[in-house]
Structure 1
Amino acid sequence: MGGDCSAQIEAFFRFCPEVAPAVAGLVVYLILALVSGVVSFRSRAWFTLLTPITAACEAAGFAARISFLNAPEYGAYVVMALFLIVTPTLLAVVAYIVVGRLLAMQGAERVGCIKSSSLVRMFTTSDAITLFIQMSGGGLMAAKDRDMATMGESIMLAGLLLQLCFFATFTVVAAHVHANAAKFGLKGQPGVRRLFASLYACIALLTLRNTFRVIEFSQGFDGYLATHEMYFYVLDLVPVSLAVATLTVLHPGVLLAKIAGAQGITAAGNKVAVAAVPEDVEGGAAQLVANMVTVTGTRGSSRDNTP
């Protein structure tokens, strides 16, 4: 599995990874970050900047992978592990905010037993919790001590399992809103069908990727999925990059503006929408990115530079 590599690299990966696929992944995400960033800026739906930020962070992860394969250093491994495993969480936040904006524009007060005004905050908070769990595990996974690395793997698995459960709950909520489109005033609205198509595609792709990661970590460092590089690219890079591409082509900001325009309001300026998706929630999503960088820097500087 893979080409020739040093004993240091093989000790971390349990196989010899190829550089060429990592370069391809870097290029793919750089292109997606650029295109998605342009569309997001033009839409002026600032929360959708989380999509190009996701692509940029994935690109950083692949850049760190390439760096590590060329010159094995602990810091590069931590950056790679954190960004490639944790980053897709940000795409889930985009989905949460989209549903929150939809409900806010329609003045819906509740979705089942959940207050519409609390929906985005609830799911964003749950993702923040799982994100910090995963970051903690990611830092420990690169430890020289095998027991510490195994503990980090278990922590990462717990974070991924929690994230999968929270995301499944959100999927039920999104499906409920779609199934009751007439009740929420969405039936027949222009752009609603494409918006939900974008959401469902994103949900399916992220669920596939997260399920792969859960199975991979449950098998351990020496498991079949972890030691066969092909599965990482097919079941991680492909679904996450497709999710970013979907949110770029069927851009939530553009579609929300179309729905809002049909109702004579602006998606960004609607007072109800702002009330349902407070600035501190959207700002908190951006803070997740800053925390990822901070933790990465802390982990990288707390150890020497040889794995």
Structure 2
Amino acid sequence: MSSSHPGWTAYEYYPSMGAAVVFVICFAIVTLMHTYHLFRTRTWFFIPLVIGGYFELVGYIGRAMSSKESPDWTIGPYVMQSTLLLVAPALFAASIYMELGRIILMVKGEQFALIRVRWMTKIFVAGDVLSFLMQASGAGIMVKGTSSTDPSSSVSTGQNVIIGGLIVQIVFFGFFLISGLIFQRRMSSHSGARAVADEYPWRKHMWALYSSSILILIRSIVRVVEYVQGAHGYLMQHEVFIYVFDALLMFAMMVIFVIIHPSEVNYLLGRGRVVTAMGGLKVMEGSSAV
């Protein structure tokens, strides 16, 4: 396959226009729904997730643009899709991390948390920021390498940095899941705390966190394998994997939070309005606190 940059090949296949358009539409719909609910309910801690949705949308627009250029790809659309699709889940993770602390506060279960709530969000978000920066910088090194005199060295360095960032994401997500499970087990084993907690619909929000976290974990693990194999590995040579183990999983993750919207937690903490099941807006308003 030829390229507009000697020694550089954007894809090991011709990107599918149809698949890209399908997910442009999917992410456009779900991200607009989240944007609408964000402002109507004032669930401001979900801003990172909404931004991540727009990253996914623009990323698949980039893939659609690349499909029209095959086989003479240009750097612009390639950078759009490679960078934005890579880092978007780190933004999803930031909102997921922040919801757990709010659930714990809602059910008055601070004493059962593995980490103090005031530190929990800070620790997890700090790890997420580190992961985001590593992945973004690794992607930048790879892109810069396409126009360098030694592209193979730069690409290898960029891939290693990205792998490091993905591993950081996996470690923190794993610890996050353990923290959530320990908290839920402690709450469930204490009858008094459970009686207080059961006054709130907290379990469904915990399962939303678990399921969404597992989807991102699966996606990140597949991405690690992809970058370890390199440009000529099986995963990078077959486009189906980015749609099955990235696009589809991240779309499902966003749908989960449309169905089980965190505004209910926010509302029960006295903040903003609440979205009912399946995204319907219930006109219930708490304080305007963020």
Both proteins in one fold, TM over 0.5: yes
Q: How does 1:44-193 map to 2 (within 5 A)?
A: 44-71=42-69, 72-105=73-106, 106=108, 108=110, 111-112=113-114, 114-142=115-143, 143-144=145-146, 145-182=151-188, 183=190, 187-193=197-203
| 1:113-143, Cα deviation, whole Å (9 max, x unpaired) | x221010011101110111110011112222
Which of residues 217, 220, 223 is equivalent to 2:233?
223
CA drift of 1:202 comes to 0.5
Partners of 1:51 and 1:247 within 8 A in 2: no
Unaligned runs of 5+ in 1: 270-277, 280-307
Query: Which secondary structure state, in structure 2, belongs to the residue aligned with residue 251 of structure 1?
Result: coil
Which of residues 260, 263, 269 is equivalent to 1:250?
260
| 1:14-37, Cα deviation, whole Å (9 max, x unpaired) | 222212111111111101111122
Unaligned runs of 5+ in 2: 274-288
Partners of 2:102 and 2:265 within 8 A in 1: no
Partners of 1:110 and 1:116 within 8 A in 2: no
Gap change, CA 1:189 and 1:6, over 3 Å in 2: farther
Query: Which secondary structure state, in structure 2, belongs to the residue aligned with residue 13 of structure 1?
Result: coil
Partners of 1:138 and 1:152 within 8 A in 2: yes
1:272 aligns to what? none
Q: How many residues align?
A: 260
TM-score calculated relative to the size of structure 1: 0.78
One-letter identity of the residue aligned with 1:254 = E
Q: Find the aligned partners of 1:189 and 1:242 in 2 and give their Cα distance.
A: 29
CA drift of 1:56 comes to 1.1
Most deviating of 96-105 and 121-130: 96-105
Partners of 1:109 and 1:116 within 8 A in 2: no
CA drift of 1:54 comes to 1.7
1:195 aligns to what? 205
Query: Which secondary structure state, in structure 2, belongs to the residue aligned with residue 88 of structure 1?
Result: helix
Say what the alpha-carbon RMSD is for the aligned residues: 2.3
Name the % identity.
24
TM-score calculated relative to the size of structure 2: 0.82
Q: Find the aligned partners of 1:70 and 1:81 in 2 and give their Cα distance.
A: 16
Which of residues 39, 42, 46 is equivalent to 1:41?
39
Higher relative contact order (CA closer than 8 Å, sequence separation 6+): 1
One-letter identity of the residue aligned with 1:169 = F
CA drift of 1:40 comes to 2.3
Q: Find the aligned partners of 1:84 and 1:93 in 2 and give their Cα distance.
A: 16
| 1:195-252, Cα deviation, whole Å (9 max, x unpaired) | 1121111011111111111111111111101111011100100110000010111001
Query: Which secondary structure state, in structure 2, belongs to the residue aligned with residue 225 of structure 1?
Result: helix
Partners of 1:40 and 1:46 within 8 A in 2: yes
Q: Find the aligned partners of 2:28 and 2:266 in 1 and give their Cα distance.
A: 26
